[in-house]
Structure formats: C-alpha cells, structure tokens
Amino acid sequence: MAKSKSRKAFVCSECGSESSKWQGQCPDCKAWNTFKEINLGSSRPHATPAGNLSGFAGSLAAVQALSEVSAEEAPRFSSGYSELDRVLGGGFVPGSAVLIGGHPGAGKSTILLQTLCHVASNMNALYVSGEESLQQIAARARRLGLPTDRLKMLAETSAERIIQVAEQEKPGIIVIDSIQVMYMEGVDSAPGGVAQVRESAAFLTRFAKQTGTVLLIVGHVTKDNSLAGPMTLSHIIDTQLMLGNTDDSRFRIMRATKNRFGQVNELGIFAMTERGLKEVKNPSAIFLSRGEETTSGSIINVLWEGTRPLLVEIQALVVESQLGNPRRVTVGMDQNRLAMLLAVLTRHGGIFTSDQDVFLNVVGGVRITETSADLAGLLAIVSSLRDNPLPQDMIAFGEVGLAGEIRPVANGQERLIEAAKHGFKKAIVPVANKPRKDIPGIQVIGVTKLSDALDAI
Ligand code: TYD
Ligand code: MG
C-alpha cells in the first residue's frame, strides 16, 4: 500500500482534544496555550504501518440489520484473581483494551506480572516492558515464586515492532508496561507526549480488537491524577482501572472508572506484602481501626461499593471559626454535599454552624460517592459540635433530603447484616430500610426526619 501523505493536526496537551487549526484556548478543557502542532504520520486513520497487519487495510464494511448482528459475546476468562475479575465485571473480555492507571509504585507492574504468569498456563501471554529490564522482572517473578516457564517477555518500546511480534506469537493477552514509553514511527512528538501516547494506544487497541487479544495498558498518572492529559486515552480503551493507595500503606484499592463491560462502582482490594499483591477477600472491615476510647465526632457508616458492603468511619470536627467566612472542608466526600447538610441541619434541626469551621473526613483514604453517608456525616457533626461521643457500637446510614427527610438507600438489609456481623449493636437508618424481621444482635432504629435521628442520639 502506498504511503499516504503525512497528516498534521493540533492537539491539546491537557486533554488530547484535536483541531485542524491552532487555537489559543482549548474548546474542551478551556486550558490556554496548550495546542501543539503534531505530525500524525501516515499511520492513521486508514493506512497500515510497516509490517502489514492482516486485514488491517480495511475492506469495505457491510451494513447489517441490528437484529442480524450476533450478540453472542466471546466467553470471558478469569485473571486468576477474583478481586480483579470483580472490577473487570467478571473477568477479561477477549478483544478488549484495559488501561491500568496509578501513581508510580502503586503496584501496577506487580499485579500484571502476577496475573500474566498465572494466565500463561492456559494461553499464550506476552509481557512487553519498556521500563524495567527483563532481568529485573525475572528477579521479581522468582522472588514472588511465580510460575515463569510459560510467560513470553519482550523489551520493546516501538508499537509497530510490538505488533509484528504479536502477529507471530499470537498471544491471547498482552501487557504494555507502560504506554508512556511507547512510540510510533512517523508521529512527530517525544514518547510520553500526548500525541505519541494517544497514537500508540489507538494503534495497539485496533490490533487487539481485530485479533480478539486482551490488551492491558499501564499508564502512570501525573500529580493531578490525570493519565498523560485527562481524557486522552479514555475514549480509546474499553475499561479504565485505577490502582490507588489508601491511608494504610499496605492496602491498594482497584476501581473501574470506565467499563464498557461491567459496573463502574465495583471495588477490588489488595494488600501489598513482601510476596507481592494479595487479594483481600472480605474487606468490609479493613478500614475500621478505632481505638478503645470513645471520642466525639465519629461514627461508622456502611457504604455499598458495587456488590458488597464496606464499613468506614466518618469523622467530623467542628470548631469555632476565627474567619469571617468559616471553612467547610471535606476529605473523601463531596464538599457541596457538606454545605447542603449544614443548611439542612440549620433549617430542620435548629442547629447553627454559621460561626463554626466544619471538617469532615472519611477515614482510610476511601472516597464516598453515594448518598448513604449523609446521615452518618450529620450525626458526626452534631456529636462534635456538642462534644458528645456517640456509642462505639453504633452505625448509621441514609440519605438526607433538603426537607430534612431521611431517605432510604439500596441494600439496607445487607448493610445491617454486615454491621451485625462485625459486632455493631445499634443502627440508625431510614425507616424504609428497617427490616421487617429483626436481625439478631443489632437494634435498628428507623427514622423518617432529621429531628427523629437527633432524638435517637
Ligand atoms: P510496582 O508494581 O513496580 O509499581 P508500579 O508498576 O505501579 O510503578 O510496585 C512497586 C512497589 O511495590 C514498590 O514500592 C515496592 C512494592 N513491592 C512490595 O512491597 N512487595 C513486592 O513483593 C513487590 C513486587 C513490590
Ligand atoms: Mg511499573
């Protein structure tokens, strides 16, 4: 195939937005002076790179009725780790591209090496490292006691050459560690730049889709938590997993932030040990580490993360403000939600905080995205304001509405059962979440209004 003329474009280095002409401000992310001219080479969108890929230079696609399209999915396969399978939505989907993001040192290479060593016993697997030397990886695999005889290794940073090797080896699964060091000939930017990262990822992903290979791409996040410019890769790949640290440095949380093949709120928890990453199969109470003495401003909330409950401590600190504009600070929770809760507390609880600084913290580095923490947050705030400790064995959950009503949340019964299992004896929950049949060991107080909840404590 003849080489087509190289294409030029302007790409925003912040968000990867593309434009045919230079612009002072990016229309998508509103950043200034971020458009850089790049040479897209001849690799996109239709031409094939050197070393022709079978079927790449497309024949004309046929139109089909939606009903005629086979909806049969290729069967998923397990990663060997149930926590990883859970976050993926039930294992790997052949032909899918999965991005694993995280800060350097989060354990991305470790979890992928462990996974591939295990998967390699059933299928051809290829680990491409552009960062660590193969000796380093081999030493690590040996130290971790992983089965190393079937896994194929490749030290390479050229996306084209990786695909040439993959065409010969025909692996069912490929790891690219990491996308930041990959490059393509003809793309006119340094490895790690937005253009290289995006073009290499798109090229590798096209190969994965056409051959039914699972592609696992490692991406380091920068200090503002973006992967080589936010959004750069997220529309190319199918699933984006983030591996994050918790306050307890042993634990790692894996979370799907995008998933075309499963839920996005599913959570996997691992512990970093001297023998690599180990799964934590019953993690519901790992974030509970309260001391013996009771302190004011603290209560346990039962979260629902994906398909299972998680007990987390919510702490509030309310202190008289020295500022004209008192502070409202949250860690692990939405700040606007706190402002709303305080307004409800004033209007429907008759409790004023307008001269107080209010801090709300979710212990353990967990980020709460559901509304069930509203009630626990409010009770913690009231407890701190009055310097009145809540019972150690009490939990609370429920959404607080603007009219001061306490609204039910999903999976109330399962949350209560989990709390009872961990020895909690009292629960303040929305009345609609109160189970009809008593749960042994836990006394459940159903509340309909904020004032009921305040009476209950
Ligand atoms: P790594 O997988 O190299 O991180 P990433 O690829 O995300 O940058 O993990 C490196 C960290 O994990 C490093 O700080 C050491 C730690 N670690 C252990 O504690 N135990 C182990 O068995 C391994 C392999 C790593
Ligand atoms: Mg690494």
User: pLDDT-based confidence at 54, cuts 50/70/90?
Assistant: very low
| Alpha carbon distance 319, 326 (integer Å) | 10
Residue 103 among known ligand-binding residues: yes
* Model confidence at 45: pLDDT above 50: no
Mean pLDDT of the chain: 87
User: pLDDT-based confidence at 118, cuts 50/70/90?
Assistant: very high
| Alpha carbon distance 108, 230 (integer Å) | 19
pLDDT tens-digit readout, 335-361: 999 999 999 999 999 999 999 999 999
Ramachandran sector of residue 455 (left: φ over 0; alpha: ψ -120 to 50; beta: rest)? alpha
User: Between these two residues, 249 and 94, which has the higher pLDDT value?
Assistant: 94
User: pLDDT-based confidence at 291, cuts 50/70/90?
Assistant: low
* Model confidence at 28: pLDDT above 90: no
Ligand having the closest approach to the CA of 140: 1
Task: Using the atom order of ligand 1, give the atom closest to the CA of residue 131.
Answer: 6
Distance 110 CA to ligand 1 centre (A): 6
| Angstrom distances, CA of residue 284 to CA of 76, 265, 268, 288, 428 | 27, 15, 11, 9, 19
pLDDT at 42: 52
Give, for ligand 1, the residue of 248, 272, 275 to mutate: max count of ligand atoms closer than 8 Å to Cβ.
Answer: 272
Ligand having the closest approach to the CA of 270: 1
Q: Read off the DSSP letter of residue 130.
A: S
Our answer on whether the CB atom of 180 is closer than 6 Å to any ligand 1 atom is: no
Among 341, 102, 413, residue whose Cα is nearest residue 227: 102
Distance 116 CA to ligand 1 centre (A): 16
Task: Using the atom order of ligand 1, give the atom closest to the CA of residue 111.
Answer: 2
Residue 172 among known ligand-binding residues: no
* Model confidence at 198: pLDDT above 70: yes
| Alpha carbon distance 178, 346 (integer Å) | 51
Our answer on whether the CB atom of 101 is closer than 6 Å to any ligand 1 atom is: no
Residue 371, both tokens: 């509304």
Residue 104 among known ligand-binding residues: yes
pLDDT at 57: 47
- What are the helix (H) ranges across 42-101? 82-88
Count of Cβ atoms closer than 10 Å to residue 105 Cβ: 11
| Angstrom distances, CA of residue 365 to CA of 121, 163, 330, 340, 380 | 36, 39, 12, 23, 18
For the CA atoms of 432, 425, 456, 286, the dihedral, rounded to the nearest 10 degrees, stands at -80
pLDDT at 321: 92
| Alpha carbon distance 192, 140 (integer Å) | 26
**Range with the poorest average pLDDT among 30-44, 88-102, 439-453:** 30-44
| Alpha carbon distance 328, 321 (integer Å) | 10
Pairing of strands 426-430, 394-396: parallel
For the CA atoms of 432, 435, 440, 443, the dihedral, rounded to the nearest 10 degrees, stands at 20
pLDDT at 403: 95
- Angle at CA of residue 407, ends 404 and 412, nearest 5°: 145
Our answer on whether the CB atom of 415 is closer than 6 Å to any ligand 1 atom is: no
* Model confidence at 289: pLDDT above 50: yes
Which amino acid makes up residue 427?
A
Distance 111 CA to ligand 2 centre (A): 10
Our answer on whether the CB atom of 209 is closer than 6 Å to any ligand 1 atom is: no
- Average pLDDT for 389-411: 94
**Range with the poorest average pLDDT among 8-12, 21-25, 230-234:** 230-234
pTM, full prediction: 0.75
